Amino acid sequence: MNIQKVKPPAALELLYTPCLAMLSELNQDTMTRAIRNSEWVWIGDVDGEVFGFWGLIPPTLCSDRAYLWFYSTDHLSRHLFAFVRRSRVVTEELLGHYPILVGHGRASDERSLRWLRWCGAEFSEPVANGALVPFEIRSV
């Protein structure tokens, strides 16, 4: 399992053909915006197959928190155990950039919420008619 940290322009180049080109136009726009707004993007792959990518979007240059987003591909299911095992190490690296990570999990995706708990997330009350659950992960 390889996880590389790259700047957004390089991430767009690396991800367009294997991942972004397969998405709908709306989802391509959403992911491109998330990548461009991130300070760094982490890309996870096994033998060249991308299983996921994520980034941190700070609201301001001086903020102590950042919005954590994550996109997984179909390849994640084949490497789920290894990814979960490495998640705490990756989370610690992310917290080294910003001591508070915030985001939203899909309320209907129990596996995703379980993974976020594993990474140290604490949840708030659901929003968006119960579809999304805000979370916060803090450095210790």
Q: Domain spans of the chain? A: 2-138
Rounded Cα–Cα distance for residues 27 and 63 (Å) = 27
Rounded Cα–Cα distance for residues 70 and 60 (Å) = 20
pLDDT for 32 equals 96
Q: What CATH code would you report for 2-138?
A: 3.40.630.30
Chunked mean pLDDT (size 10), the chain, 140 residues: 94 93 94 96 93 93 92 89 88 94 94 91 95 95
The secondary structure of residue 129, as a DSSP letter, is T
pLDDT for 62 equals 87
Ramachandran bin of 36, using left for φ above 0, alpha for ψ from -120 to 50, beta for the remaining angles? alpha
Please say whether the beta carbons of 83 and 44 come within 8 A: yes
pLDDT for 37 equals 96
pTM summary value: 0.89
The secondary structure of residue 23, as a DSSP letter, is S
Rounded Cα–Cα distance for residues 114 and 121 (Å) = 9
pLDDT for 136 equals 98
Let me know how long the chain is: 140
| 49 alpha carbon, distance to own chain's centre | 17
What is the CB neighbour count within 10 angstroms for residue 20?
A: 19
